[in-house]
Structure 1
Amino acid sequence: MKKVDWCQLATDLETICQTRGGWTERGGTDVAKRALIEILGEDVLVNAVDHAVTLAPGSELAVSVLSLLQPRAAMARCIEVFRTSTDPETAAGAIWLLQRIADRSAVEWLPEVLSSPNALVRAWGIGIVDHLLIAQGVIELHEAEPFIEAGLRDAEETVRERAKQVLEMIEHEEMVEKRRLGQAS
C-alpha cells in the first residue's frame, strides 16, 4: 500500500503555512478532493474514464468516484474520447460521463459538444447544461440560455425534447422559489 507523506501533500496543496509559533492549516471537503486527486494520480483517473465509458462491470463505481472528485484530467479525457472516437456510441458515452462529472470549467466545451454531428452527443451536451445549472447551480441562467436555445432549435427531436425538459425544470425551480419567498414574507 502506498504511504502518503501528508506534510508534503499539505505543502504541495498549499494548505499548511509556517508561522512564528509553528504552523497553521486549513482543510475541508474541497481540500480533501484535491488531495485524493493527487494521491490517485492522473493515470488512475484517466483509466476510470476509459472504464466508465465501456459500461463494463465496475463502471458505476468509477463514475461515482469521478463524480465525487470532478478531476479536470477526467473531464479532459472525456473530451479527448469524444473528439477521437470513431464509434458514435463511444463518443456519446464520453459526453454522458462528462455530464455526470462536469464542473463549471466544462462550459468551455459546450459550443463544440452542441455542434457535434452526433445527435446523442448534443442531447448529452444539454444534459451538461442541466447538470451545471440545476443540479450543481454553478452557472447562471443567462450563461445557460444560449445553449438551451441552441437545443430548442436543434434538428433532432431528442435534443429539442431534452432542452424543453431543462426549461421545464427551470420554470419549476422558479415557481418553488417564488412560493418559498412568498411564505417567508
Structure 2
Amino acid sequence: MQNYYGALGHLFTAARATQMICLIAIIGMASNFIAEIIAVEQAPGSLLIGTLTITCISTLYITITYILYLDNALSFLLSTAIDSLLLIALIVIATKTGMPISYLSCASLSNSGGSTSAFVESVKDNLQASNYWVWVGASRTSCYEMKAIWGLAIALCILFFVSAVATVCMWRREKAMMKAPAKDIEG
C-alpha cells in the first residue's frame, strides 16, 4: 500500500516535527535546573525528574513512530493509544508546573540576581516542601525558563492531541482503502 494520507500525513509530519522541537527544548531546560539543584547538593524534585523522564521517553517514541510511519509500518491504533497516554502525562506535568509558576511575575524579578543554584542553597527548607516557585524566582532568566517549560508542556498537550486525532483518522482511511473493492486492472 502506498504511503499516501494527504493532508493528514502532512499534519502528522508537522505535529511530530513540532513535538520534537518542544521536547528537545524542555529536556535542555529541565536538565539545566536539575544540574543547578544538584550543584548545591539538593535532591531535585519529583516534578522535574518526571518531566525529564517523560520528555526523554517521548522523544524516543516520536523518532521510532515517525520512522515506522515513513516505512508504512506504523500501527495507527497503537500510536493513537500511546499519544493519548502521553497527552495525559503532559496534562499532569503542565498542571503541576503551572500551579505555582502561574503566580510568578518574571518581569518584577532582578535581571542580575544571583544564580539559581545560589538561591536554591538559601532556601533549602522550602525545597523540601517542593515549592518550585521559590527557587525559580532566583532571576528573571530562571523564571522565564520555567515558564517556558510550562508553556511548551501545554503546547505538547495540544500537539499530542492533534497527532492522536491524525493517526486515528489515518487508521480509518487505511481501513476504508482495504475494504474498498479492488478495481479491475484489465478494464
Would you say same fold, with TM above 0.5? no
Higher-strand-fraction structure: 1
Structure showing greater radius of gyration is: 2
Q: TM-score, normalised by structure 1?
A: 0.28
Bigger RCO (CA 8 Å, 6+ sep): 2
